[in-house]
Amino acid sequence: LQEKHRILHKLLQNGNS
Amino acid sequence: SGLESPTCSGMEIELLAQDVLRSHRETSQPRAEELQQRRWDTFSREEVCAYQRKPMQEMWERCAGRLTEAIQHVVEFAKRLRGFMELCQNDQIVLLKAGAMEVVLVRMCRAFNPDNRTVLFEGKYAGTELFRSLGCHELVGSIFDFAQSLCALRLSESEVAFLCAIVLINANRPWLQEQAKVARLRGRLEVAFRLLLRRTHREGLLARLPPAGRLRALCSQHVEQLQAFRRLHPGALPAAFPPLYRELFA
């Protein structure tokens, strides 16, 4: 699922605010 | 009070409630006061005509762009929500993939003026007619009807915040790996929401909320219209639509 949703995955990874 | 579940303390619920409100406040643009000030700032007749003359593809690109910006704010809302980042990555993605658009639709009621049936779009308030060149009058009308029905409930910012959290944290989404963990978080959110409603004497609100199926239907309608648009404009999507929009809906 992470592979198919790379942008969403990246947004979630960017700074665990 | 009988409200607390046996697995979480009153303090935990209190912290969760504060967290939902803070997450909502930090990720909702524009702020409520600004929306209130601008709610009569509508597009002029000439501006509406200019939008109506835009090619269908350009109007789709614009709407996809605005929707994607709103979804990015929803992702930030989710990340700030206590417990969300403790879910496994698969489930974070499942919940956002299924729920981000639904949360955007709930949030839209903040930027909707029910008195003249307009919504904030690219800086001013617009009626359904501005979106004519999209070629999906029924979808636009249904989205406006939904916003109108939420506005009729006169939701406070806190209520919108909880509604968004509850729409997002849904243990019934297909493909969740840790369904029980999502269900526990959802349960705590419901307890906190009920506590807020009891304190503000708004318990009756729960029975008046639109059924979850209505949001689901709007999201399906959006994907169907996108498919119809793609049939009309093959090749348009990869070129000009935001990558996040393509990832979520195409």
Q: Which residues contact B223 (CB under 8 A, 6 or more apart)?
A: B249
Summarised one tens digit per residue, pLDDT across range B149-182 is 999 999 999 999 999 999 999 999 999 999 999 9
Contact status, residue B34 vs residue B125, Cβ threshold 8 Å: no
> What is the torsional sign of CA B158, B64, A10, B89?
positive
Chain B: closest CA distance from residue A1 (Å): 6
Mean pLDDT, residues B191-218 taken together: 95
CA–CA gap between residue B191 and residue B33 (Å, rounded): 28
pLDDT in tens, B91-141: 999 999 999 999 999 999 999 999 999 999 999 999 999 999 999 999 999
Segment B183-189 mean pLDDT: 96
CB B236 within 8 A of CB B249: no
The answer, for A6 touching chain B at a CB cutoff of 8 Å, is yes
Query: Sheet harboring B118-121: ordered strands across?
Result: B112-113, B118-121, B124-126
Q: Tell me which chain B residues have a C-beta less than 8 angstroms from the C-beta of A16.
A: 79, 85
Q: Tell if the CB–CB gap between A8 and B75 is shorter than 8 Å.
A: yes
B 84-123 near A (Cβ less than 8 A): 85, 89-90, 92-94, 96-97
Cα–Cα distance for residue pair B168/B96, rounded to 1 Å: 7
The Cβ-side half-sphere exposure at B137, using a 13 Å CA radius, reads 3
Strand partners, B118: B113
The verdict on whether omega for the bond into residue B210 sits within 30 degrees of 0, i.e. cis, is no
Q: Does A10 touch chain B (CB under 8 A)?
A: no
Q: Are B244 and A7 in contact (CB < 8 Å)?
A: yes
Q: How far is B23 from chain A (nearest CA, A)?
A: 10
What residues of B are in contact with residue A4 (Cβ under 8 Å)?
247
* pLDDT at position B1 over 60: no
Q: Which residues of A touch B81 (CB under 8 A)?
A: none
Q: Which residue matches tokens 């968004």?
A: B164
Cα–chain center distance at B162: 12
* pLDDT score for A15: 58
Helix (H, G, I), strand (E, B) or coil at B246: helix
Nearest partner of B148 among B133, B128, B129, B132, judged by Cα = B128
Residue contact A17–B76, C-beta within 8 A: yes
ipTM: 0.87
**B68 → chain A, closest CA residue:** A8
Angle CA(B98)–CA(A6)–CA(B64) in degrees, nearest 5?
Answer: 60
Higher pLDDT, B9 or B186: B186
Smallest Cβ distance to B75: which of A2, A6, A12? A12
Q: Which chain B residue's Cα is nearest to A4?
A: B247
pLDDT higher than 60, residue B4: no
Kindly determine whether residue A8 and residue B243, on different chains, have CB atoms separated by under 8 Å. no
